[in-house]
Amino acid sequence: MKSEEKCVLAGFHAVGARLRTDPESIDELYFDSSRRDARMQNLLARASAAKVRCVAADGERLDGLSPEAPHQGVVARARARKTNTSFDDVLDGANRETLLLVLDGVTDPRNLGACMRTAAAAGAQAVIVPRDRSAALTPVVAKAAAGATETLPLVPVTNLARAIQEMQQAGIWVVGADVEARHSLFEIDLTGPRAWALGAEGSGLRRLTREKCDELAFIPMQGGMESLNVSVAAGVCLFETRRQRGLQASADPGLPRAQKP
C-alpha cells in the first residue's frame, strides 16, 4: 500500500482510535460546528493536543466527505495505515494463546466491521478473510468496527482452504461453526491454539471450507431461532474460547493467564 494513499474515517470511535494510535497520519479533522456537547469538545481537545488541524463544517459538507458511513458529526481525512501484518506473520507468531477469526464470504461491510470489533474485544490476533469473497476495509467497515481496524489486522488470503491447511501445519486447530455439527461449542476443547471459521448468516461456510476444518461445532439456540448474525455468533464462539482458557489457567497455576482483551 502506498504511503500517500488516503482514507476517510467517520464517527467518534474510528476517529478517536486513530487519534490514539497515529494522530500524525490525520491531515484534517472536520467537525459539526453546531455540536457543542462534551463528547465533541473532548475529541477536539485531544485533536488540538495532537496538533491535528480541525475544520468546522456543516452537515452537508460532512455528508459529502462520508457519503456511505454515518459520521456523527466528525470526519477525518487521513493517510491510510500500512498493513504490516501478513498471513505469514500470523503463522510465525502462532503459540498456545493464538486465537484467530476466519470469515468465509462475509461481504456485508457492517457485518465485517462488527466482527472485527467482536474479535478485538475477545483478544483475537487477526481476522482472516478470502481476498475475493469478503468486504474490503472501507469507511463503513471502520465505522462498524468502532476503532478495531486501527489495532486488529484484517488479513486477506488468496485461497482460504489452503490458508486453513497452513494454519493447521502451524499447530492451530481450526473449528468451523456449523448448524449441522454433532457437538455444541460447549462440548469441545477450545483451550489450545484455535481459529474459528464462520460463514455469512444464511449461507454459512462453503463446503470446501467446512471440509478443511479440524472440527465442527454448533451454537445451541432456543426460542425457535435457527441462526445468529455472524458478528453475534463470532462473539459467542470467541468468548467461549476465552472462558475455557480462563478455567484452564485457574486450574493449572503453571499456565499463564490469558490477558484481558
Span 131-175, pLDDT tens digits: 988 988 888 888 888 888 888 999 999 999 999 999 999 999 999
Q: Mean pLDDT of all residues in the chain?
A: 88
The pLDDT of residue 70: 82
Statement: residue 257 has pLDDT above 70: no
The pLDDT of residue 210: 95
Lowest-confidence segment of 146-150, 166-170, 215-219, 239-243 by average pLDDT:
146-150
The pLDDT of residue 33: 86
Binning pLDDT at 50, 70 and 90, where does residue 42 land? very high
Binning pLDDT at 50, 70 and 90, where does residue 21 land? confident
Cell 497520519 sits on residue:
25
Residues whose CB falls within 8 Å of the CB of residue 247, separated by 6 or more in sequence, listed in order: none
Would you state the torsion angle of the CA atoms of residues 49, 55, 58, 64, taken in this order, to the nearest 10 degrees? -110
Contact 167, 100 (CB under 8 A): yes
Q: Which long-range contacts (CB under 8 A, 24 or more apart) does 38-45 make?
A: 39/12, 40/73, 40/74, 43/12, 43/15, 43/16, 43/19, 43/74
The pLDDT of residue 4: 59
The pLDDT of residue 11: 87
The pLDDT of residue 7: 84
**Cell numbers at residue 259, please?**
490477558
Domains of the chain (ranges; CATH) run 6-79 (3.30.1330.30), 87-251 (3.40.1280.10)
* β-pair type (194-199, 154-157): unpaired
The pLDDT of residue 214: 97
Statement: residue 2 has pLDDT above 70: no
What CA–CA distance (Å, rounded) separates 150 from 44?
A: 19
Residues in the chain: 261
Q: Does residue 80 or residue 217 have the better pLDDT?
A: 217
